[in-house]
Amino acid sequence: MAHKENTNILSGEWINQRVENVLTQVEEIVDQLLVEG
């Protein structure tokens, strides 16, 4: 079961989760820059 993530990548679910995580991180960074600016 060590390669379960590979199956998720093929199904596209893993990609969607990664995109959502990245967008969330970007929003947090932008918020911090706006506050500091």
> Does position 37 have pLDDT exceeding 80, yes or no?
no
**By the 8 A CB rule, do 36 and 30 touch?**
no
What pLDDT, on the 0 to 100 scale, is given for residue 18? 93
Give the pLDDT score at 12.
85
| Structure confidence by residue, pLDDT tens digits, 3-34 | 666 665 667 888 899 999 999 999 999 999 99
- Helices (H), ranges, the chain: 4-11, 13-36
- Give the pLDDT score at 13: 86
Predicted local distance difference test score (pLDDT) of residue 8:
59
Query: Position 5: which residue type?
Result: E
Q: What is the pLDDT of residue 11?
A: 74
Residue 9: Cβ within 10 Å count: 13
